[in-house]
A and B are shown apart, each in its own frame.
Chain A
Amino acid sequence: MSQDVRNLVKQYYPNFPSKHCGKIYHDTTEFMDISYGDVICVNGLHYMVLRDEVERRFGIEDPKFWVKRCRHLETGERKIIKLVFYEKFLLKLGEVEILCHRSPGKESRILDLVRGDMRFMQGVSYHDEKNNNVRVLDLIRGKSLDIVIYNIEEDHETYFRKHFPEILEKFIGACEAIGFMHSHGEKHGDIRRDHIWIESGTQKYRWIDFDYSFDFYENPFALDLFGLGGILAFITGKGDCTVGYLLERGFTKEDLAGLTEDDFSIVFHHRLVNLRKIYPYIPEKLNNILLHFSRGTDVFYDTVDEILGDLKPCLDLLGS
């Protein structure tokens, strides 16, 4: 146990049990060793580690040992610290495998680009004494978009008429934020519905996690556009409209008999995107946007502006 940590805790965090005081880390290379009660010192500031972050997807918890939930001792603020982890992994999208890389440098660059723009998570980057990148991120209090949608306990039509117009309006703002990134030559890299956080209080939609990178062939932003299309289908359908999901919600096999392969997602072949076939009150113009992400399409969106050009007029077609 380090006397330095005890002194810091005594000064800044007297309620913290001294028996859990760990070590001070000026070098974060061995991030697996840094755990509860340790203190990361960077740029002269001290961050006590409270726990490793965990990503929850599809009911499974996936610990992220290079991401630490911390308390900034000097101010008492909660922070998230991301350490260097050069991970390569195959991301499977439907039948397609994409080699993804984690790039701390990319995330730092984007944090600089979006500083003060609350459509994005905020944070600063430092380097520890071994020149490892250390990103100190502000915590966003709120819930991810998928959780918020799941928690709306109403039937689809009520949801669509009562809640969807506001959700779509905010999603359009989120698309504009991605367009801003692209206009600066940056891609988000991992656009998913749980990477939009809805901040408590302000209800702002805020993008998180910019550290994914991948090689591309012709259009560096196509994967981001696909992500936006996926979220649009999710918020329009109030969930992933797989056949199983729809049967659970009262549709019969006869109701779904008219669906064809072309009505489903070009990448996730089990997710319906031609939603107007089952929810006929969805305006055709909005449905046509979704069809750009279907197996039947021959026309792809090339830019966020193209999506927005079609999406914005849809707002006037919604409501009761």
Chain B
Amino acid sequence: MDPKKILIAVDASENSLRAVEYTGDMLGGGEGFHIELLTIERFPDRDLFETEEVWKTECKKNQAAYLDFMAKAQKILCDKGISEKQIFSRYIESCKSPLKSPPLICSMGTNIAHEIMGIIESEGFGTVVIGRRGVSKEVEFLFGSVSTKIVHYSKGCAVWIVN
């Protein structure tokens, strides 16, 4: 495990923004880091939309938001004094994407925490950073929580939860 190999799991939310800013504040000016921004695409369920077209439009909007966020996050890290050569980005597409055929490695979107932990373990990340939504226990119970699952189940790495 290499504590300087850091994975920041983000979506396009305010919580993720806080996680990125916090990482920048902690590590700005430092050297020898591998900081990887990871986004796992998750689109709204097809069943929530009356037509395929409306669903596709929503998915396109979501994808654009994810990609914009990745670019913004990279800039934030740079602005906080982390050199560009230390910053990496990875975007994992949804296996259920209506926008194009899914690549070989894609996300089923039904257990994102498990997918993040798989990457941490297989690629030797020593630190994972994630923003917390700050939802109630009831909401966490009814919908699940990526950050809680990572806290409970990750092994062999440090977990930074940013509230």
> Which residues of chain A have a CB within 8 Å of any CB of chain B?
86, 93-96, 98, 101, 103, 105-106, 185, 213-223, 226, 266-267, 295, 300, 302
Contacts and interface: CB of A to CB of B under 8 A. Distances in A.
Contacts of B53: none
A266 B142 CA distance: 10
B139 interface: yes
Contacts of B142: 93, 96, 98, 222-223, 226, 267
Interface of chain A, main secondary structure: loop
21 contacts: A93-B138, A93-B142, A96-B142, A103-B47, A106-B47, A185-B110, A213-B47, A214-B48, A216-B143, A218-B111, A218-B145, A218-B146, A219-B110, A219-B143, A220-B110, A222-B141, A222-B144, A226-B142, A266-B138, A267-B142, A302-B144
A101 B47 contact: yes
Contacts of B140: 300
A95 B50 CA distance: 28
Contact of A267 (B50, B111, B138, B146): B138
Interface residues of B, number: 23
B48 A215 contact: yes
Nearest to B96: A185
Contacts of A266: 137-138, 141
Nearest to B112: A218
B134 interface: no
B47 A217 contact: no
B45 A215 contact: yes
Given A101-B48, A105-B47, A216 B139 contact: no
A216 to B, nearest CB: 5
A96 B139 contact: yes
Contacts of B45: 213, 215-216
B136 interface: yes
A103 B44 CA distance: 14
A107 to B, nearest CB: 9
A213 B144 contact: no
Contacts of B61: none
B113 interface: yes
